[in-house]
Amino acid sequence: MATPLLVFDLDGTLADTAGDLVAALNHILAREGLNGVALADARHMVGMGARSLISQGFAANGQTLDAARLEELFVDYLAWYEANIAVHTRLFPGVPEALDRFEAAGWRFAVCTNKAAHPSVKLLEALGVDARFAAICGQDTFAWSKPDARALLSTIGRAGGEPGATIMVGDSRTDIATAKNAGVPVVAVDFGYTDVPVSELSPDVVISHFDALWDAVARLSPTA
């Protein structure tokens, strides 16, 4: 029997990273002589990736960016972010306890994120949980990224799992689409970074706290 596997998204699912992501944006904006963006106004922006976040920050100042300039700013953004990666970031409540319970029951874990792999590993190291994941796969790990099913399927393979014994946990339209494309059940958390309520995106189960993950997975898998 295949070892059961939980594959998690990172930003907005395992960790509340918005404070540091927006701080990096505001560093770039201030350097360019522009107004910063309030965290409350930007939380919904961070789920679409750093390039989109930068573009939206400039748009909020009435400016547009061409592709070349955006890439220059992205490099600077990423460097500053990696140097300040866990100032405000914390695991969401209940994450360690949920991992403990599933691990005791024989489950394995992986991360499949559209964050680049290096900062993903660095962040999980800073949070003290990197060793708990059999694979940490980012946007640049494979030749494809979410919502392409191959990003998730390749992560499952790297973690030594099987799609039929895997459940995805995410917070966004992209995560839900990825899981559906791969034919993998998906649990959506409703406290992450999304432009629409995840309940409107037809995940298999929605939870509001990691304390509810065990029961959610039990509904989807006879292994739990």
For 173-201, the pLDDT digits (tens) are 999 999 999 999 999 999 999 989 999 99
Quote the CA–CA distance of 162 and 171 in Å, as a whole number: 22
Domain residue limits at 75: 18-83
pLDDT for residue 222: 56
Domain count, the chain: 2
E strand or H helix at 205: strand 205-207
150 & 64 share domain: no
Residue-level pLDDT at 42: 87
User: Distance (Å, rounded) from C-alpha 101 to C-alpha 112?
Assistant: 21
Tokens standing for residue 28: 């770039």
State pTM to two decimals: 0.94
pLDDT for the residue 46: 87
Tell me, what CATH number does 161's domain have? 3.40.50.1000
pLDDT of amino acid 146: 96
Q: What is the predicted pLDDT for the residue at 150?
A: 98
Residues 204 and 120 in one domain: yes
Q: Which of 178, 182, 162, 171 is nearest to 210 (CA)?
A: 171
pLDDT of residue 43: 85
Q: For residues 11 and 152, give the distance between their C-alpha atoms in angstroms, rounded to a whole number.
A: 16
Q: Tell me the two tokens of residue 126.
A: 């800073």
Report the mean per-residue pLDDT for the chain.
95
| Same structural domain, 140 and 215 | yes
Q: Closest Cα partner for 187 from 209, 216, 162, 212?
A: 216
Active site residue 9: yes
For the beta carbon of residue 123, count every other beta carbon within 10 angstroms.
Answer: 26
Cβ(61)–Cβ(37) under 8 Å? no
- Is 223 a residue whose pLDDT tops 60? no
pLDDT of residue 211: 98
Extract the tokens encoding 85.
């990666």
Asked if residue 167 and residue 75 are part of one domain, the reply reads: no
